[in-house]
């Protein structure tokens, strides 16, 4: 029987990014890709990301967090999901700071500058082509050669690429709503240049302090918000010297404040996290899961 059968969950969202949080810290069991897909089924609790808290592996951390996309694949980072996890923990324990471990490393998190805000230290971005990863060498990842549409009149072209613990490509445009991201997203996510696929963002730099964006998420599709994409976009814009290191990001689901800290290169993401409801998983969801 699946460890998730009858197990408690919390349905939350991070500015519209649909998140389910499951606390398995008292269990030895993990979650398989099949179980993650079963949770995401229409009869389950549909989500963009499933945040699974497992027992801590390192002293001083609250949990080892596994992050699943709704196609069952795993991600190293999920900024919006982390704010949801942090809100839930802080409300239960009264803590105002915590450290978690994810596949991408340690994440420090704390109460933001207002009671409804949470800050996640998303770590340092990586720009090397092998780190993102890309399938071939690009010395300068501020812009790479990649385009959609006719060679002499591309519709989208020359994205910046960044790893925030997960792969991101950012296409710079004048109007983020002028493109059919549902059509181009899957093509670009699965382009052979990205051996581990990629999150695809359209971004418009409004001014040096403000960027608007939309993201097609690897393994989850079109979302109302992607926190790691907001970090990657802010960093890529600053790297191109087109924006300041502290910027406000407007996503379809709301706003995030991003600071790319000079002193240690870390990216801090601040925003809200909303609780929707809690419940227990119907065991029938996992009946056909091995």
Residue-wise DSSP of 6-46: T-EEEEEEETTEEEEEEE-TT-S----HHHHHHHHSTTS--
- Binding string, 146-175, against ligand LBFN2T5F, x = CB under 6 A? --------------------x---------
Yes or no: say if 112 and 100 are a contact pair by the CB < 8 Å rule.
no
Query: Would you count residue 227 as binding ligand LBFN2T5F (CB under 6 A)?
Result: yes
**Six-digit token string for 205:** 């730099």
Kindly tell me which of 205 and 220 has the beta carbon lying closer to ligand LBFN2T5F. 220
Q: How far is the CB of 74 from ligand LBFN2T5F (least distance, A)?
A: 8
Query: Would you count residue 61 as binding ligand LBFN2T5F (CB under 6 A)?
Result: no
Kindly tell me which of 61 and 80 has the beta carbon lying closer to ligand LBFN2T5F. 80
Is 217 marked as a binding-site residue? yes
**Six-digit token string for 56:** 């801590």
Query: Would you count residue 77 as binding ligand LBFN2T5F (CB under 6 A)?
Result: yes
Q: What is the CA radius of gyration of the chain?
A: 18
Sign of the C-alpha dihedral computed for residues 174, 271, 264 and 261 taken in this order? positive
The stretch among 36-44, 147-155, 201-209, 212-220 that binds ligand LBFN2T5F (CB under 6 A) is: 212-220
Question: Taking the CB of residue 242, how many other CB atoms lie within 10 A of it?
Answer: 13
78 among known catalytic residues: yes
Element (DSSP H or E) covering residue 202: strand 199-207
Query: Would you count residue 218 as binding ligand LBFN2T5F (CB under 6 A)?
Result: yes
Give binding residues for substrate as ranges. Answer: 17, 49, 69, 79-80, 166, 199, 217-218, 227-228
Active site residues: 78, 226
């Amino acid at each position: 029987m699946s460890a998730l059968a009858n197990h408690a969950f919390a349905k939350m969202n991070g500015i519209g990014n649909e998140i389910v949080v499951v606390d398995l810290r008292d269990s030895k069991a993990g979650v398989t890709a099949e179980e993650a897909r079963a949770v995401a089924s229409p009869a389950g609790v549909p989500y963009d990301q499933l945040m699974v808290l497992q027992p801590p592996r390192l002293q001083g951390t609250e949990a080892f967090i596994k992050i699943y996309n709704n196609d069952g694949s795993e991600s190293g980072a999920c900024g919006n999901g982390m704010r949801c996890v942090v809100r839930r923990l802080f409300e239960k324990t009264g803590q105002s700071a915590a450290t978690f471990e994810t596949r991408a490393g340690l994440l420090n998190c704390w109460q933001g500058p207002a009671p409804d805000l949470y800050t996640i230290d998303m770590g340092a971005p990586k720009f090397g082509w092998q780190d993102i990863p890309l399938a071939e060498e690009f010395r300068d990842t501020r812009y790479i050669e990649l385009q959609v549409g006719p060679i002499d009149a591309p519709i989208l072209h020359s994205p910046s690429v960044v790893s925030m613990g997960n792969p991101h490509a950012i296409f710079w445009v004048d109007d983020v709503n002028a493109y059919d991201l549902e059509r181009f997203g899957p093509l670009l996510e699965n382009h052979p240049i990205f051996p581990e696929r990629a999150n695809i963002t359209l971004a418009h730099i409004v001014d040096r302090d403000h960027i608007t964006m939309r993201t097609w998420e690897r393994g989850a599709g079109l979302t109302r918000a992607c926190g790691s994409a907001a970090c990657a976009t802010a960093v890529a814009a600053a790297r191109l010297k087109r924006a300041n290191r502290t910027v406000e990001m407007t996503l379809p689901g709301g706003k995030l404040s991003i600071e790319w800290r000079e002193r240690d290169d870390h990216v801090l993401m601040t925003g809200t996290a909303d609780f929707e409801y809690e419940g227990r998983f119907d065991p029938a969801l996992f009946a056909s899961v091995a």
